[in-house]
Structure 1
């Protein structure tokens, strides 16, 4: 059965990834504990696809992305890029691999050096990796600016002279400089106006088709995620709770947390927006320093209140297991109850109204 998350070797393979941060040291130099930002995540990203990572703030999606780029060292687990275990490489070998994986950050103004011209910013990866002569780098910069839709005279200007959308185009041009295979985009359009978002997303789609790029996109905008991704991984408190093809997940979510997320997403249809019933989760997200036993979502789960035998939710951690008769995986003891619930049916009405 196709689980949709770990069946065949992919460009990126993440296996049981854990990224923990120590909370401090006591008087006896013993650690007080750990923030379990990512705690046992497994998935595969195939060449040429776009995987979305979604969830509330603090769920671990950005930490996962940074670990993939080896900007953070995993506490446990493996990250394999095109057959190479990143934990086993360093020095020159790691530098060569890093040419093939590049980030695009959320805030383009903060990620661009205000004291450098666009030409120097876009050429910086080429300089660091000693690619080409000075003349060849100038030519490459001109080519990249044209590719992302910026005029040639942009090369001599500084980031403050551009709009937010133009600055994100500069950031994308820099990410494309070394002809990467993988781009990890962390909220790439969240700081932009709605009209500009569509332009940047269309640019990313065009680049993917032209250069067969693979994307990992971190986002909280569920409408955006549906538009740009092939599969979606829903994260909660350091775990993946559902990982499925995008349209399957939006059409028939199987985890109660996914249902709640979709029910809270705004939609343009004002009639459907006014008529629908949102799921309001109880309480706050537990601390990742001391996550609940069993299913980490059980302390806020709307489905658990309806179950005859809810003790299993607090006593046993549900594995991320294949969806019966479908593609993908879900970590819930009662996905069949989610499927039959009236709350999920309300969510489906909302989705169809988009």
Structure 2
């Protein structure tokens, strides 16, 4: 193989960032010695220009209909036009055909809808942007949709979550093809984190989202996210809400998809992530302020949720760190529920 043929599929109102994160990262890898080098191509219906969701127009380099394999990687971008693309028999048919001639198949964000329409995700675990995960799961019951990770690899098919996760999955491909040293060099030159692990959660309790539909659950959620260092046992939460533990658990499962215990663990872990990124508080102090008995308990919860230890998270995520006095780092006001779409209760 003299070149790795990398084809990105675009269509009208595809997301420009989905496309550019892939193409720019691969070209950067070429500049730093990828071998074989990446031959990067944007394929569009009839090879015509496509107007992205941002309003900018990209010129197609090859006609999707005339493209033939073998290909190294076929990647379908997402965007606000993904539903029309997934309903377009020409696009879906040629994606299905080219997938048979590709070593790897991938999608970014809502591009998973096109792969699913082509039957390429049947019987596989897959992800997409959390906002569209329920729709994908409802329309394609043969696909095991998991909205939590940044990207999922199942066999030779990889699906990435929202928008900039295209960068994460492309760096992962570069590491697979050329080793970690080149992937790190490319990440440094792109001025991005070396690589977020694929199983890192894509949502945060501080991300805008609809509140729980039940007033009692909302009150408990507000208490949990505002007081992570309090006694948040199910017994204490139920007593504070004036209901039985069994009834509280039933309500949480219905409105957040999680038990109260799992909800609390995630809320505390994300509160710790906020402190790690925004303060210089010692690890033990972060653990105490977020309701973990020890720094080791914090580490275990952090690895479970983010796939990396808190020390590494701080190293890659921290920006300007305030002093560690404790009064200068309040928790941000809660803007949405902890539960991420697709979560499974314990």
Query: Please, what TM-score do these two structures have when normalized by structure 1?
Result: 0.31
Query: Please, what TM-score do these two structures have when normalized by structure 2?
Result: 0.32
Greater relative contact order, per chain length (Cα 8 Å cut-off, separation 6+):
1
- Specify which structure has the higher proportion of helix: 2
